[in-house]
Amino acid sequence: MIQEDFKMIRMRNTWVEIDLDCIEHNFCEARKILPKNTKIAAVLKANAYGHGAIQIARVLIKNKIDQLAVACLSEALELRRHFAEIPIIVMGYTPDEYLSIGVRNGITLTVFSMEQARKLSDMAGRLNEKAVIHIKLDTGLNRLGLKPGPKAVDTIMNICRLNNINVEGIYSHLALTTLEADQVQFKVFMDMIDEIEARGVHIPIRHISDSNGMVLYPSFDLDMVRLGGFIFGVTTDGLYKDVISLKPAMTFKTQITRIEKIKKGEWVGYDPVFVAPDKCRIGTIAVGYSDGYMRGLSGKGEVSIRGKRAPIIGTICMDQCMVNLTNIPEAQVNDEVLLFGVGQQQNISVNELAKKVQTNRNEILSIVSRRVPRVYMADSQIIDVVDYLLD
Ligand SMILES: *Cc1c(COP(=O)(O)O)cnc(C)c1O
Protein backbone atom coordinates (compact mmCIF):
# COMPACT_ATOMS: atom_id res chain seq x y z
CA MET A 1 0.00 0.00 0.00
CA ILE A 2 1.18 3.51 -0.85
CA GLN A 3 1.35 5.63 2.24
CA GLU A 4 2.64 8.94 0.96
CA ASP A 5 0.53 12.00 0.87
CA PHE A 6 0.87 13.10 -2.73
CA LYS A 7 -1.06 16.33 -2.47
CA MET A 8 0.92 19.26 -3.90
CA ILE A 9 3.97 17.09 -4.51
CA ARG A 10 5.22 16.43 -7.99
CA MET A 11 6.30 12.80 -8.03
CA ARG A 12 8.25 13.01 -11.26
CA ASN A 13 10.98 15.03 -12.92
CA THR A 14 8.90 15.47 -16.06
CA TRP A 15 5.86 17.73 -15.80
CA VAL A 16 3.77 20.45 -17.37
CA GLU A 17 3.11 23.77 -15.72
CA ILE A 18 -0.25 25.32 -16.48
CA ASP A 19 -0.58 28.99 -15.67
CA LEU A 20 -4.21 29.64 -14.81
CA ASP A 21 -3.62 33.40 -14.95
CA CYS A 22 -2.90 32.94 -18.67
CA ILE A 23 -6.21 31.13 -19.14
CA GLU A 24 -8.00 33.97 -17.40
CA HIS A 25 -6.09 36.56 -19.43
CA ASN A 26 -6.89 34.89 -22.76
CA PHE A 27 -10.53 34.53 -21.84
CA CYS A 28 -10.67 38.26 -21.01
CA GLU A 29 -9.03 39.07 -24.36
CA ALA A 30 -11.82 37.19 -26.12
CA ARG A 31 -14.44 39.02 -24.10
CA LYS A 32 -12.84 42.32 -25.10
CA ILE A 33 -13.09 41.73 -28.83
CA LEU A 34 -16.53 40.13 -28.85
CA PRO A 35 -19.83 41.99 -28.94
CA LYS A 36 -21.63 42.07 -25.59
CA ASN A 37 -24.34 39.63 -26.67
CA THR A 38 -22.04 36.98 -28.10
CA LYS A 39 -21.64 34.07 -25.70
CA ILE A 40 -18.45 32.07 -25.34
CA ALA A 41 -18.35 28.28 -25.24
CA ALA A 42 -14.97 27.05 -24.03
CA VAL A 43 -13.96 23.94 -25.95
CA LEU A 44 -12.53 21.58 -23.33
CA LYS A 45 -12.37 18.38 -25.38
CA ALA A 46 -9.33 16.09 -25.09
CA ASN A 47 -8.87 17.03 -21.43
CA ALA A 48 -8.89 20.71 -22.38
CA TYR A 49 -6.20 20.10 -25.03
CA GLY A 50 -4.11 18.39 -22.36
CA HIS A 51 -4.45 21.21 -19.81
CA GLY A 52 -6.88 19.34 -17.52
CA ALA A 53 -10.59 19.86 -18.17
CA ILE A 54 -11.67 20.21 -14.53
CA GLN A 55 -9.09 22.81 -13.54
CA ILE A 56 -9.61 24.86 -16.69
CA ALA A 57 -13.40 24.69 -16.34
CA ARG A 58 -13.14 25.88 -12.73
CA VAL A 59 -11.22 29.03 -13.72
CA LEU A 60 -13.53 29.77 -16.63
CA ILE A 61 -16.70 29.28 -14.61
CA LYS A 62 -15.32 31.67 -12.00
CA ASN A 63 -14.89 34.14 -14.85
CA LYS A 64 -18.49 33.61 -16.00
CA ILE A 65 -18.01 31.48 -19.10
CA ASP A 66 -21.37 30.84 -20.78
CA GLN A 67 -21.02 27.21 -21.87
CA LEU A 68 -18.55 24.34 -22.08
CA ALA A 69 -18.15 22.19 -25.18
CA VAL A 70 -16.62 18.73 -25.55
CA ALA A 71 -16.37 16.05 -28.21
CA CYS A 72 -18.08 13.10 -26.56
CA LEU A 73 -20.48 12.20 -23.77
CA SER A 74 -17.90 10.79 -21.35
CA GLU A 75 -16.03 14.09 -21.46
CA ALA A 76 -19.29 15.89 -20.67
CA LEU A 77 -20.00 13.58 -17.73
CA GLU A 78 -16.52 14.15 -16.30
CA LEU A 79 -17.28 17.87 -16.20
CA ARG A 80 -20.86 17.39 -14.97
CA ARG A 81 -19.60 15.46 -11.93
CA HIS A 82 -17.79 18.60 -10.79
CA PHE A 83 -20.04 21.34 -12.13
CA ALA A 84 -23.78 20.89 -11.73
CA GLU A 85 -25.14 24.00 -13.42
CA ILE A 86 -23.02 25.02 -16.40
CA PRO A 87 -24.42 24.14 -19.85
CA ILE A 88 -22.24 21.47 -21.47
CA ILE A 89 -22.62 20.63 -25.14
CA VAL A 90 -21.39 17.46 -26.83
CA MET A 91 -20.30 18.48 -30.33
CA GLY A 92 -19.78 14.96 -31.66
CA TYR A 93 -22.29 12.30 -32.60
CA THR A 94 -23.84 10.50 -29.64
CA PRO A 95 -24.96 6.91 -30.40
CA ASP A 96 -28.64 6.25 -29.57
CA GLU A 97 -27.89 3.94 -26.64
CA TYR A 98 -26.26 6.80 -24.71
CA LEU A 99 -28.90 9.46 -25.32
CA SER A 100 -30.78 8.83 -22.07
CA ILE A 101 -27.60 9.21 -20.02
CA GLY A 102 -27.04 12.58 -21.67
CA VAL A 103 -30.57 13.78 -20.96
CA ARG A 104 -30.59 12.56 -17.35
CA ASN A 105 -27.37 14.49 -16.70
CA GLY A 106 -28.53 17.69 -18.33
CA ILE A 107 -26.08 17.48 -21.22
CA THR A 108 -26.84 19.40 -24.42
CA LEU A 109 -26.57 17.06 -27.40
CA THR A 110 -25.78 17.65 -31.06
CA VAL A 111 -28.41 16.21 -33.38
CA PHE A 112 -28.48 16.16 -37.17
CA SER A 113 -31.17 13.68 -38.20
CA MET A 114 -34.92 13.37 -37.83
CA GLU A 115 -34.59 9.77 -36.69
CA GLN A 116 -32.34 10.61 -33.80
CA ALA A 117 -34.39 13.67 -32.81
CA ARG A 118 -37.52 11.52 -32.69
CA LYS A 119 -35.84 8.84 -30.58
CA LEU A 120 -34.51 11.51 -28.26
CA SER A 121 -37.91 13.15 -27.88
CA ASP A 122 -39.66 9.83 -27.15
CA MET A 123 -37.03 8.91 -24.63
CA ALA A 124 -37.08 12.31 -22.92
CA GLY A 125 -40.87 12.02 -22.69
CA ARG A 126 -40.56 8.70 -20.88
CA LEU A 127 -38.11 10.30 -18.46
CA ASN A 128 -40.39 13.29 -18.01
CA GLU A 129 -37.56 15.55 -19.19
CA LYS A 130 -36.85 17.91 -22.05
CA ALA A 131 -33.78 17.17 -24.16
CA VAL A 132 -31.77 20.27 -25.00
CA ILE A 133 -30.13 20.07 -28.42
CA HIS A 134 -28.16 22.05 -30.95
CA ILE A 135 -28.78 21.11 -34.56
CA LYS A 136 -25.60 20.80 -36.60
CA LEU A 137 -25.42 21.79 -40.25
CA ASP A 138 -22.70 20.60 -42.62
CA THR A 139 -21.98 23.74 -44.65
CA GLY A 140 -18.88 22.39 -46.37
CA LEU A 141 -16.47 20.68 -44.00
CA ASN A 142 -18.09 17.36 -44.93
CA ARG A 143 -17.63 15.92 -41.49
CA LEU A 144 -20.81 16.04 -39.40
CA GLY A 145 -24.24 17.63 -39.77
CA LEU A 146 -27.33 17.91 -41.85
CA LYS A 147 -26.68 18.85 -45.48
CA PRO A 148 -28.37 22.20 -46.20
CA GLY A 149 -31.25 22.43 -48.67
CA PRO A 150 -35.05 22.54 -48.76
CA LYS A 151 -35.28 19.06 -47.27
CA ALA A 152 -33.07 20.08 -44.35
CA VAL A 153 -35.33 23.07 -43.67
CA ASP A 154 -38.32 20.68 -43.45
CA THR A 155 -36.34 18.40 -41.14
CA ILE A 156 -35.43 21.26 -38.83
CA MET A 157 -39.04 22.45 -38.74
CA ASN A 158 -40.16 18.93 -37.82
CA ILE A 159 -37.50 18.60 -35.12
CA CYS A 160 -38.61 21.91 -33.61
CA ARG A 161 -42.17 20.58 -33.42
CA LEU A 162 -41.24 17.53 -31.34
CA ASN A 163 -42.76 17.63 -27.86
CA ASN A 164 -39.84 16.90 -25.60
CA ILE A 165 -37.04 18.65 -27.44
CA ASN A 166 -35.76 22.14 -26.80
CA VAL A 167 -33.80 23.33 -29.84
CA GLU A 168 -31.53 25.78 -28.09
CA GLY A 169 -28.96 26.16 -30.85
CA ILE A 170 -28.02 25.67 -34.47
CA TYR A 171 -24.43 25.60 -35.63
CA SER A 172 -21.82 24.71 -38.19
CA HIS A 173 -18.03 24.56 -38.39
CA LEU A 174 -15.72 26.38 -40.79
CA ALA A 175 -13.03 24.62 -42.80
CA LEU A 176 -10.80 27.76 -42.64
CA THR A 177 -9.07 26.89 -45.89
CA THR A 178 -9.72 30.03 -47.93
CA LEU A 179 -11.51 33.28 -47.29
CA GLU A 180 -13.86 32.63 -50.20
CA ALA A 181 -14.81 29.13 -49.04
CA ASP A 182 -15.42 30.37 -45.49
CA GLN A 183 -17.69 33.11 -46.81
CA VAL A 184 -19.62 30.54 -48.86
CA GLN A 185 -20.04 28.38 -45.75
CA PHE A 186 -21.27 31.35 -43.74
CA LYS A 187 -23.75 32.31 -46.44
CA VAL A 188 -25.10 28.76 -46.69
CA PHE A 189 -25.52 28.77 -42.89
CA MET A 190 -27.29 32.14 -42.78
CA ASP A 191 -29.53 31.26 -45.74
CA MET A 192 -30.73 28.18 -43.86
CA ILE A 193 -31.41 30.25 -40.75
CA ASP A 194 -33.30 32.85 -42.81
CA GLU A 195 -35.49 30.08 -44.26
CA ILE A 196 -36.27 28.78 -40.80
CA GLU A 197 -37.02 32.28 -39.50
CA ALA A 198 -39.28 32.89 -42.50
CA ARG A 199 -41.28 29.89 -41.37
CA GLY A 200 -41.69 31.45 -37.96
CA VAL A 201 -39.11 29.54 -35.92
CA HIS A 202 -36.35 31.32 -34.04
CA ILE A 203 -33.46 29.24 -32.70
CA PRO A 204 -31.78 31.32 -29.97
CA ILE A 205 -28.09 30.37 -30.20
CA ARG A 206 -26.54 30.45 -33.69
CA HIS A 207 -22.79 29.74 -33.86
CA ILE A 208 -20.16 28.95 -36.48
CA SER A 209 -16.75 30.37 -35.40
CA ASP A 210 -13.92 28.68 -33.56
CA SER A 211 -10.83 30.62 -32.38
CA ASN A 212 -9.44 31.54 -35.78
CA GLY A 213 -12.93 32.14 -37.16
CA MET A 214 -13.58 34.65 -34.39
CA VAL A 215 -10.39 36.57 -35.11
CA LEU A 216 -10.61 36.46 -38.91
CA TYR A 217 -14.32 37.18 -39.28
CA PRO A 218 -15.91 39.42 -36.66
CA SER A 219 -19.14 39.42 -38.67
CA PHE A 220 -19.48 35.66 -38.07
CA ASP A 221 -19.65 35.99 -34.28
CA LEU A 222 -23.47 35.69 -34.08
CA ASP A 223 -24.79 34.46 -30.70
CA MET A 224 -21.83 32.35 -29.60
CA VAL A 225 -18.26 31.39 -30.52
CA ARG A 226 -16.53 28.11 -29.60
CA LEU A 227 -13.00 28.76 -28.40
CA GLY A 228 -10.32 26.15 -27.84
CA GLY A 229 -6.82 27.27 -28.86
CA PHE A 230 -7.52 30.92 -28.07
CA ILE A 231 -8.27 30.11 -24.42
CA PHE A 232 -5.06 28.08 -24.12
CA GLY A 233 -3.09 30.87 -25.78
CA VAL A 234 -1.89 28.81 -28.70
CA THR A 235 -2.94 29.93 -32.15
CA THR A 236 -1.72 30.44 -35.69
CA ASP A 237 1.53 32.47 -35.73
CA GLY A 238 1.02 36.05 -36.76
CA LEU A 239 -2.75 35.86 -37.04
CA TYR A 240 -3.47 38.00 -34.00
CA LYS A 241 -0.44 40.28 -34.11
CA ASP A 242 -1.09 43.79 -32.80
CA VAL A 243 -4.71 42.97 -32.11
CA ILE A 244 -4.65 40.64 -29.17
CA SER A 245 -1.95 39.48 -26.82
CA LEU A 246 -2.37 35.83 -25.99
CA LYS A 247 -0.37 33.96 -23.37
CA PRO A 248 0.35 30.26 -23.88
CA ALA A 249 -0.71 28.55 -20.64
CA MET A 250 1.23 25.29 -20.88
CA THR A 251 4.95 24.74 -20.40
CA PHE A 252 6.41 21.24 -20.74
CA LYS A 253 9.55 20.55 -18.73
CA THR A 254 11.85 17.73 -17.73
CA GLN A 255 15.32 17.34 -16.19
CA ILE A 256 18.73 15.99 -17.13
CA THR A 257 19.26 12.54 -15.58
CA ARG A 258 22.83 11.78 -16.72
CA ILE A 259 25.71 13.41 -18.58
CA GLU A 260 28.52 11.46 -20.27
CA LYS A 261 31.29 12.06 -22.79
CA ILE A 262 31.47 9.84 -25.85
CA LYS A 263 34.20 9.28 -28.41
CA LYS A 264 34.14 9.92 -32.13
CA GLY A 265 32.34 7.05 -33.89
CA GLU A 266 30.13 6.00 -30.95
CA TRP A 267 26.41 6.08 -31.53
CA VAL A 268 23.57 7.26 -29.31
CA GLY A 269 20.30 5.43 -28.75
CA TYR A 270 18.56 2.72 -30.75
CA ASP A 271 19.48 2.52 -34.42
CA PRO A 272 22.75 4.20 -35.36
CA VAL A 273 21.06 7.34 -36.69
CA PHE A 274 23.46 9.52 -34.69
CA VAL A 275 27.13 8.64 -34.85
CA ALA A 276 29.40 11.06 -33.03
CA PRO A 277 31.38 13.03 -35.67
CA ASP A 278 33.85 13.95 -32.94
CA LYS A 279 34.01 13.52 -29.18
CA CYS A 280 30.92 14.99 -27.60
CA ARG A 281 29.06 15.46 -24.37
CA ILE A 282 25.61 13.99 -24.26
CA GLY A 283 22.80 14.41 -21.77
CA THR A 284 19.95 12.02 -21.11
CA ILE A 285 16.58 13.62 -20.33
CA ALA A 286 13.56 12.02 -18.68
CA VAL A 287 10.98 12.38 -21.43
CA GLY A 288 9.95 10.05 -24.23
CA TYR A 289 7.28 9.61 -26.83
CA SER A 290 4.84 8.00 -24.42
CA ASP A 291 4.83 11.24 -22.44
CA GLY A 292 3.75 13.04 -25.57
CA TYR A 293 7.16 14.16 -26.78
CA MET A 294 6.74 12.89 -30.31
CA ARG A 295 9.11 10.32 -31.73
CA GLY A 296 8.97 12.31 -34.95
CA LEU A 297 11.13 14.94 -33.25
CA SER A 298 14.09 12.53 -33.30
CA GLY A 299 17.00 14.36 -34.89
CA LYS A 300 14.85 17.48 -35.35
CA GLY A 301 13.76 18.74 -31.96
CA GLU A 302 15.60 21.19 -29.77
CA VAL A 303 15.26 21.71 -26.04
CA SER A 304 16.37 24.69 -23.99
CA ILE A 305 18.84 24.28 -21.12
CA ARG A 306 20.22 27.32 -19.25
CA GLY A 307 18.87 29.51 -22.01
CA LYS A 308 20.69 27.65 -24.79
CA ARG A 309 19.36 25.28 -27.40
CA ALA A 310 20.41 21.63 -27.32
CA PRO A 311 19.49 19.37 -30.25
CA ILE A 312 17.85 15.98 -29.75
CA ILE A 313 20.18 13.26 -31.01
CA GLY A 314 19.35 9.66 -31.85
CA THR A 315 15.80 8.33 -31.84
CA ILE A 316 13.48 9.37 -29.05
CA CYS A 317 12.74 6.36 -26.80
CA MET A 318 9.50 5.61 -25.01
CA ASP A 319 10.58 7.18 -21.72
CA GLN A 320 13.83 9.04 -22.39
CA CYS A 321 15.89 10.70 -25.04
CA MET A 322 19.32 12.21 -25.49
CA VAL A 323 20.52 15.72 -26.25
CA ASN A 324 23.85 17.09 -27.41
CA LEU A 325 25.38 19.19 -24.63
CA THR A 326 28.75 19.76 -26.29
CA ASN A 327 28.01 23.48 -26.63
CA ILE A 328 26.57 23.84 -23.13
CA PRO A 329 29.50 22.84 -20.91
CA GLU A 330 27.84 24.44 -17.88
CA ALA A 331 24.89 21.99 -18.03
CA GLN A 332 24.60 19.64 -15.05
CA VAL A 333 22.55 16.66 -13.95
CA ASN A 334 19.13 17.75 -12.63
CA ASP A 335 19.15 20.92 -14.72
CA GLU A 336 15.71 21.93 -15.87
CA VAL A 337 15.02 21.26 -19.55
CA LEU A 338 12.38 23.25 -21.43
CA LEU A 339 10.59 21.12 -24.03
CA PHE A 340 8.03 23.72 -25.07
CA GLY A 341 6.42 26.82 -23.65
CA VAL A 342 7.68 29.92 -21.95
CA GLY A 343 11.11 29.56 -20.29
CA GLN A 344 13.13 31.75 -17.96
CA GLN A 345 15.53 32.83 -20.69
CA GLN A 346 14.09 31.39 -23.87
CA ASN A 347 10.79 30.17 -25.29
CA ILE A 348 10.04 27.20 -27.52
CA SER A 349 6.69 27.59 -29.19
CA VAL A 350 4.29 24.76 -29.78
CA ASN A 351 4.06 25.97 -33.36
CA GLU A 352 7.82 25.49 -33.80
CA LEU A 353 7.53 21.85 -32.75
CA ALA A 354 4.39 21.33 -34.82
CA LYS A 355 6.18 22.59 -37.92
CA LYS A 356 9.10 20.21 -37.38
CA VAL A 357 6.88 17.13 -37.29
CA GLN A 358 4.33 18.44 -39.78
CA THR A 359 1.43 18.43 -37.41
CA ASN A 360 -0.65 21.14 -35.76
CA ARG A 361 -0.40 22.83 -32.37
CA ASN A 362 -3.46 21.04 -31.00
CA GLU A 363 -1.90 17.61 -31.50
CA ILE A 364 1.29 18.65 -29.66
CA LEU A 365 -0.75 19.85 -26.67
CA SER A 366 -3.36 17.13 -26.51
CA ILE A 367 -0.95 14.18 -26.59
CA VAL A 368 0.79 15.14 -23.34
CA SER A 369 -0.01 11.89 -21.60
CA ARG A 370 -1.60 11.03 -18.26
CA ARG A 371 1.80 10.04 -16.89
CA VAL A 372 2.86 13.69 -16.92
CA PRO A 373 1.82 15.51 -13.73
CA ARG A 374 0.01 18.82 -14.20
CA VAL A 375 1.29 21.61 -11.96
CA TYR A 376 -1.17 24.50 -11.73
CA MET A 377 0.12 28.02 -11.14
CA ALA A 378 -1.63 31.25 -10.17
CA ASP A 379 0.10 34.44 -9.05
CA SER A 380 3.37 32.61 -9.81
CA GLN A 381 2.60 30.14 -7.02
CA ILE A 382 1.85 26.44 -7.27
CA ILE A 383 -1.79 26.07 -6.30
CA ASP A 384 -2.46 22.46 -7.28
CA VAL A 385 -0.69 19.37 -8.58
CA VAL A 386 -2.66 16.74 -10.45
CA ASP A 387 -1.12 13.35 -11.11
CA TYR A 388 -3.64 11.15 -12.92
CA LEU A 389 -1.74 8.05 -11.81
CA LEU A 390 -1.87 8.83 -8.13
CA ASP A 391 -5.03 10.88 -7.53
C1 LIG B 1 -12.35 21.64 -31.59
C2 LIG B 1 -13.51 22.42 -32.06
C3 LIG B 1 -13.58 23.81 -31.82
C4 LIG B 1 -12.45 24.61 -31.21
O5 LIG B 1 -11.45 24.84 -32.15
P6 LIG B 1 -10.22 25.87 -31.88
O7 LIG B 1 -9.66 26.08 -33.22
O8 LIG B 1 -9.28 25.20 -30.95
O9 LIG B 1 -10.82 27.10 -31.29
C10 LIG B 1 -14.74 24.47 -32.20
N11 LIG B 1 -15.77 23.80 -32.78
C12 LIG B 1 -15.72 22.48 -33.04
C13 LIG B 1 -16.89 21.82 -33.68
C14 LIG B 1 -14.59 21.75 -32.69
O15 LIG B 1 -14.54 20.43 -32.96
For the stretch 212-247, pLDDT in tens is 999 999 999 999 999 999 999 998 877 766 668 899
133: in domain: yes
For residue 252, the model assigns a pLDDT of 98
Segment 164-222, tens digit of pLDDT: 999 999 999 999 999 999 999 999 999 999 999 999 999 999 999 999 999 999 999 99
Selecting among 45, 240, 253, 293, the annotated active-site residue is 45
Q: Which of 49, 70, 89, 91 to mutate to test the pocket of ligand 1 (most atoms within 8 A of CB)?
A: 91
For residue 212, which atom of ligand 1 is closest to its CA? 7
Domain match, 95 and 195 both: yes
- Number of structural domains the chain divides into: 2
**Residue 264 Cα to ligand 1 middle (Å):** 49
Domain match, 211 and 310 both: no
pTM assigned to the model: 0.95
Nearest-CA residue for ligand 1 atom 8 is 228
Would the pLDDT of 1 be above 70?
no
CA-CA distance, 136 to 24, in Å (whole number)? 29
Domain match, 225 and 275 both: no
Q: Which of 210, 221, 240, 361 to mutate to test the pocket of ligand 1 (most atoms within 8 A of CB)?
A: 210
- In one-letter notation, the amino acid at residue 40 is I
Q: Which of 43, 208, 240 to mutate to test the pocket of ligand 1 (most atoms within 8 A of CB)?
A: 43
Segment 21-52, tens digit of pLDDT: 999 999 999 999 999 999 999 999 999 999 99
Q: Percentage of residues in the chain with pLDDT exceeding 90? A: 92
253 carries an active-site annotation = no
Would the pLDDT of 9 be above 90?
no
Domain match, 184 and 150 both: yes
**Residue 10 Cα to ligand 1 middle (Å):** 31
**Residue 313 Cα to ligand 1 middle (Å):** 35
| Nearest residue to 97 via CA among 123, 79, 76 | 123
Residue 93: pLDDT band with limits 50, 70, 90 = very high
For residue 210, which atom of ligand 1 is closest to its CA? 9
Segment 329-348, tens digit of pLDDT: 999 999 999 999 999 899 99
* Residue where a domain stops, chosen among 310, 331, 348: 348
More confident residue, 5 or 332: 332
For range 371-377, the mean pLDDT: 97
Domain match, 69 and 101 both: yes
Selecting among 62, 151, 264, 270, the annotated active-site residue is 270
For residue 211, which atom of ligand 1 is closest to its CA? 9
223: in domain: yes
| CATH number of the domain residue 254 falls in | 2.40.37.10
**Residue 129 Cα to ligand 1 middle (Å):** 29
Domain match, 174 and 203 both: yes
- Determine the structural domain holding residue 275 and report its residue range: 250-348
Domain match, 200 and 268 both: no
- In one-letter notation, the amino acid at residue 39 is K
372: in domain: no
197 CB-near residues (< 8 Å, 6+ apart)? none
| CATH number of the domain residue 126 falls in | 3.20.20.10
**Residue 225 Cα to ligand 1 middle (Å):** 9
Domain match, 44 and 168 both: yes
For residue 271, the model assigns a pLDDT of 85
45 carries an active-site annotation = yes
286: in domain: yes
**Residue 177 Cα to ligand 1 middle (Å):** 15
74: in domain: yes
**Residue 292 Cα to ligand 1 middle (Å):** 21
| Nearest residue to 136 via CA among 95, 158, 161, 167 | 167
* Residue where a domain stops, chosen among 232, 264, 291: 232
Domain match, 169 and 266 both: no
CA-CA distance, 248 to 341, in Å (whole number)? 7
CA-CA distance, 215 to 238, in Å (whole number)? 12
DSSP assignment string, 180-214 = HHHHHHHHHHHHHHHHHHHTT---SEEE---HHHH
More confident residue, 236 or 80: 80
For range 369-383, the mean pLDDT: 96
For residue 43, which atom of ligand 1 is closest to its CA? 4
Domain match, 54 and 153 both: yes
For residue 2, the model assigns a pLDDT of 55
302: in domain: yes
Domain match, 266 and 211 both: no
For residue 339, the model assigns a pLDDT of 98
For residue 362, which atom of ligand 1 is closest to its CA? 8
264: in domain: yes
Ranges of H-type helices in 99-235? 99-104, 114-126, 150-161, 179-198, 211-216, 229-232
| Nearest residue to 15 via CA among 311, 286, 301, 228 | 286
Report the SS3 class of residue 61.
helix
For range 50-64, the mean pLDDT: 98
Nearest-CA residue for ligand 1 atom 6 is 228
Which residues surround ligand 1 with Cβ inside 6 Å?
43, 45, 91, 173, 210-212, 226-230
Domain match, 225 and 292 both: no
- In one-letter notation, the amino acid at residue 74 is S
Would the pLDDT of 7 be above 80?
no
| Nearest residue to 44 via CA among 25, 72, 22 | 72
Residue 3: pLDDT band with limits 50, 70, 90 = low
CA-CA distance, 99 to 113, in Å (whole number)? 14
| Nearest residue to 174 via CA among 149, 144, 209, 145 | 209
391: in domain: no
Q: In the predicted model, what is the mean pLDDT of the chain?
A: 95
For residue 4, the model assigns a pLDDT of 61
For residue 45, which atom of ligand 1 is closest to its CA? 1
For range 354-361, the mean pLDDT: 95
CA-CA distance, 317 to 93, in Å (whole number)? 36
Segment 286-345, tens digit of pLDDT: 999 999 999 999 999 999 999 999 999 999 999 999 999 999 999 999 999 999 999 989
For residue 6, the model assigns a pLDDT of 61
